[in-house]
Structure 1
Amino acid sequence: MRKAGILNRHLAGALAELGHGDGVLVCDAGMPIPAGPRVVDLAFRAGVPSFAEVVDGLLDELVVEGGTAAAEIRAANPEAAGLLAERLPALAFVPHEELKELSRGARLVVRTGEARPYANVLLRCGVFF
């Protein structure tokens, strides 16, 4: 039994399988989830867990070299946009429809309970050396 870090066994196991360059989509409750990637659904109730909690927890566990978010997040959800800009070393913005297309190539999707718009980011795994 783990005593710290991510305790969810499905998520911890999925993270252990990731490698350099793999994509991890962290998404709100409304984001369409593409067929193909492994999915760990953490959504419990609207807002639980929040996008910020899950992003912070993942960034504590993963080496991330960058991310991609929908350009619409800046106007529709400035709090989430600020969180991503503050925490990610390289953040690109694309139209939401393009982010949905890019998410098809993700290796893992982590669905949150977030109920605010455009709280989605495609993280790109880095390497620790």
Structure 2
Amino acid sequence: MKKSGILNRHLAGALAELGHGDGVLVCDVGMPLPAGPRVVDLAFRAGVPRFAEVLDGLLTELVVEGATAAHEVRDANPEAARLLAALPGLGFVPHTELKELSAGARLIVRTGEARPYANVLLRCGVFF
């Protein structure tokens, strides 16, 4: 049994399958989920788990070389915008475009976050 890191077996297994350039969408409970990508749904109740908690856990496990978020997050959800600002290579697109881009993700991690625009598409890097 693992004693640290991400303990959810579905999420830990999905992360182990990722490679350089793969996309991981971390999203709030309201984000429409496209058909195709593998989904690990962590949502339990509205607000649980929070976007910040899940993103923090993922960032300890993944090498991220770039990220894309909806530009609407800056006005509608300043807390999420502050978290996202620290991501390498962060770019912003309209929310409608982020929804379209999410179809190309390899993995979607759905949180219980119930505040708007708490969504980010991470692009996996390589550790060497």
Q: How high is the TM-score relative to the length of structure 2?
A: 0.99
* Structure 2: distance between partners of 1:36 and 1:112: 18
Letter in 1 for 2:82: G
1:40-81 deviations in Å (ceiling 9; x for gaps): 000000110000000000000000001000000000001100
Q: In the TM superposition, what is the alpha-carbon distance from 1:89 to its structure 2 partner? A: 1.2
Q: Work out the percentage of aligned pairs sharing the same amino acid.
A: 86
Query: Match for 1:112: what amino acid?
Result: T
Q: For residue 18 of structure 1, report the CA deviation from its aligned partner.
A: 0.1
1 CA distance for matches of 2:121 and 2:83? Answer: 14
Letter paired with 1:78: P
How many Å separate the matches in 2 of 1:117 and 1:54?
16
What is the CA-CA distance between 1:93 and the residue it aligns to? 0.3
Corresponding residue for residue 30 of structure 1: 30
- Hey, what's the Cα distance between the residues in 2 that align with 1:50 and 1:65? 23
Report the counterpart of residue 84 of structure 1 in structure 2.
84
For residues 4-23 of structure 1, the aligned pairs below 5 Å read 4-23=4-23
Q: In the alignment, what sits opposite 1:94?
A: 93
Superposition misfits of 4+ residues, deviation over 6 angstroms = none
Distance, in Å, in 2 between the alignment partners of 1:25 and 1:18 is 12
Task: Give the 3-state SS of the residue equivalent to 2:75 in structure 1.
Answer: helix
Q: Tell me the equivalent position of 2:61.
A: 61
What is the root-mean-square deviation of aligned Cα atoms in Å?
Answer: 0.4
**TM-score, structure 1 as length reference:** 0.98
* Matched position secondary structure for 1:2: coil
| Letter paired with 1:17 | E
In the alignment, structure 1 segments of 5+ residues that lack a partner are: none
Q: Which residue of 2 aligns with 1:112?
A: 111
1:117 partner amino acid? P
Matched AA of 1:25? L
Tell me if 1:42 matches 2:24: no
Question: 1:58 & 1:85 partners in 2: Cα distance?
Answer: 16
